[in-house]
Amino acid sequence: MIRHSVVFKLKDQISDSEVNDFFIELKKLTVIPGVQNFECLKQISKKNNFDFGLTMDFKNEAIYEQYNNHPIHVNFVKHIWLNDVADFMELDFLLDNPVVKK
């Protein structure tokens, strides 16, 4: 299982209405086959400069790659993400990592 996580900050000049529209479009990624446990998150810590986060899980790396190349995701990144996001960090974790001993 892959957990795809992204923390991000939207551009300062984006209005509240545009922020709402951004999240409406973001949630459309859930229709892409293989997306599981999708969550949008609001950062409350002052320990970093990011305001929001999102997480989603994928059964395996192949399904995650299909998501990355899916036209809905590609279109979202090209037409919305790149226009609205000021900064981000992407983290992709292997869940049930065999290296980590229980």
pLDDT in tens, 13-70: 999 999 999 999 999 999 999 999 999 999 999 899 999 999 999 999 999 999 999 9
Asked if residue 63 belongs to a domain, the reply is yes
- Cα separation, 84 vs 25, whole angstroms: 12
Domain count, the chain: 1
Provide the residue count of the chain: 102
72: domain range?
Answer: 2-94
Asked if residue 10 belongs to a domain, the reply is yes
Asked if residue 32 belongs to a domain, the reply is yes
CATH at residue 71: 3.30.70.100
Asked if residue 45 belongs to a domain, the reply is yes
Residue 98 reports pLDDT greater than 70: no
Asked if residue 99 belongs to a domain, the reply is no
Helical spans, DSSP H, in the chain: 16-27, 61-69, 71-76, 82-84
Contact 3, 95 (CB under 8 A): yes
Could you give the strand order of the β-sheet that contains 2-10, starting from the edge strand earlier in sequence?
Answer: 36-42, 52-58, 2-10, 85-94
pLDDT computed for residue 95 by the predictor: 87
pLDDT computed for residue 26 by the predictor: 97
Predicted model pTM: 0.88
